[in-house]
Structure 1
Amino acid sequence: MTEDKIHLRNIRTFGRRDGRPLSRRQQTLVDDLLPRISIERESDAPITSSSLFDEAAKDVWLEIGFGGGEHLIRRARQYPDIGLIGAEPFIDGVAKALGGIDDHKLENVRLFPDDVRLILPRMEAGLIKRCFILFPDPWPKRRQQKRRLIQPDFLDDLARVMAPGAPLRFATDVASYADEALWRILQHGAFEWQAEKADDWRKQPEDHEATRYQLKGLGDCAPVWLEFQRI
């Protein structure tokens, strides 16, 4: 078995993939729209801007774990010349995002309905000019924390696909995850923390669109906003 195959086999997708039954419209979108805008899982083809979009996008941004797609859809509407990749393993979240894409006739969004770690190795180096990781599954129990997304192997892959100078935004409302993510990202060495004062991680960025999960307030602390830049 090749090293790449072993790497993919060892990935354990965070969270459960199935949720409540889809509405008739959502199921239609999953059946008809998703195949047209999704990134194929069972493929070795390199992922580039031109392979994703009919006309190469000005830049390509990535949102990892987009939940219900609120933030992803707003960004796509704000920046029609930017290509957005959204990765989300929960089918109900994917269905909600498809509804927004269909409602607004968005042509600049591509979805990967699975764990982003499965496609990062296929992405062209430097493809991603901005990345968002907003309120990822915190796996709050100590025995589960090894399944958190922010791990050295993931950061290796993310650093490779992010262009020098590209911003990375990480947000969580779980104190232990904020501490761990900050430590791991700084230890990695490919990202520079942009904070200069406490308000830089305490205050919600002005350009942020609140996510469905964020508004539930299920964490144990106020949201923490960690802004980094790829060195």
Structure 2
Amino acid sequence: MSQKPANAPWRNFYGRRKGHALRDSQEAYLAEDLARLSPGAVDWDVNPERNALDLKALFGGRPVWLEVGFGGGEHLVHQAATNPDVGIIGAEPYINGVAMLLGKIRAAGVTNLAVHPGDVRDLFDVLPDASVARAFLLYPDPWPKARHHRRRFVTPEHLQPLARVMQPGAIFRVATDIPDYVRQTLEEVPPAGFDLLGESGVAWDDWIPTRYEQKALREGRVPHYVTFRRRD
């Protein structure tokens, strides 16, 4: 594994990077497709100067969307297929989820996607200011214990750089089945530079259920869909 340069910030990472053994087909997806789908030089070992990504070259000037933690990639591929006029970057450190996404990309034949298989904080470093037109945070790790709430995405460590890279008026969607995650989201996101547009038990019109949502429903938990707008 490559080492970060000495000037790289120290960032705690919580959660799994790999689960069960990958199937041969998934190993092939990673070997054959992942490098081609890179958004550019993101990691510190290949971009220690933190030069900004060239999103115009990446997506031909199309609006850029971002999904933070795409799980198995169902929603990401759905959005790419139904919105060919945008470019979408997905960030996910769990390599099993990345492999699942790559299989779905092949099956769907979508070409307007880029994939960062790592910590979204590293991606934030190299996204230009006000470059993202829409962002999604869907069923993030709930970290249910109170002492772990600081590990959640909806904390200033993540929300401040997210706000920096989002355009004025850009939409930020959050979906979760954890009531306390809704509470923290409603408390933490507006001070980072967002206005609340709505919080509902009814999904967005262009929503596709994910495996995490289906599991929540099977276990009797109620999904919440929260929408914010990046302040001008």
Shift of 1:104: 2.2
User: In structure 2, what is the equivalent of residue 5 of structure 1?
Assistant: 8
Helix, strand or coil for the counterpart of 1:21? coil
User: TM-score normalized by structure 2?
Assistant: 0.89
User: In structure 1, what is the equivalent of residue 197 of structure 2?
Assistant: 194
User: In structure 1, what is the equivalent of residue 67 of structure 2?
Assistant: 63
Among 161, 165, 184, the residue aligned to 1:161: 165
> Are 1:14 and 1:137, in contact at CA under 8 Å, matched by a contact in 2?
no
> Are 1:192 and 1:229, in contact at CA under 8 Å, matched by a contact in 2?
yes
Number of aligned positions between the proteins: 220
Code of the residue aligned with 2:162 in structure 1: it is L
> Are 1:173 and 1:220, in contact at CA under 8 Å, matched by a contact in 2?
no
Structure 2: runs of 5+ lacking an equivalent: none
Distance in 2, matches of 1:89 and 1:141, equals 22
Shift of 1:155: 1.3
Shift of 1:202: 1.6
User: In structure 2, what is the equivalent of residue 22 of structure 1?
Assistant: 22
Shift of 1:4: 6.8
> Are 1:48 and 1:127, in contact at CA under 8 Å, matched by a contact in 2?
no
Helix, strand or coil for the counterpart of 1:22? coil
Distance in 2, matches of 1:50 and 1:132, equals 21
> Are 2:153 and 2:159, in contact at CA under 8 Å, matched by a contact in 1?
no
Among 39, 43, 46, the residue aligned to 2:52: 46
Distance in 1, matches of 2:213 and 2:13, equals 21
User: In structure 1, what is the equivalent of residue 116 of structure 2?
Assistant: 112
| Percent of pairs with identical residues | 37
Q: Determine if the alignment matches structure 1 residue 37 to structure 2 residue 45.
A: no
Shift of 1:111: 0.4
> Are 2:91 and 2:117, in contact at CA under 8 Å, matched by a contact in 1?
yes
Deviations 1:8-43 (A, max 9, x none): x12x23420111111111100101100111244232
Distance in 2, matches of 1:4 and 1:152, equals 22
User: In structure 1, what is the equivalent of residue 185 of structure 2?
Assistant: 181
Distance 1:4 1:125, change over 3 A: farther
Helix, strand or coil for the counterpart of 1:111? strand
Helix, strand or coil for the counterpart of 1:227? strand
Distance in 1, matches of 2:183 and 2:122, equals 26
Code of the residue aligned with 1:24 in structure 2: it is D
User: TM-score normalized by structure 1?
Assistant: 0.89
Code of the residue aligned with 1:77 in structure 2: it is A
Code of the residue aligned with 1:27 in structure 2: it is E
Shift of 1:79: 1.2
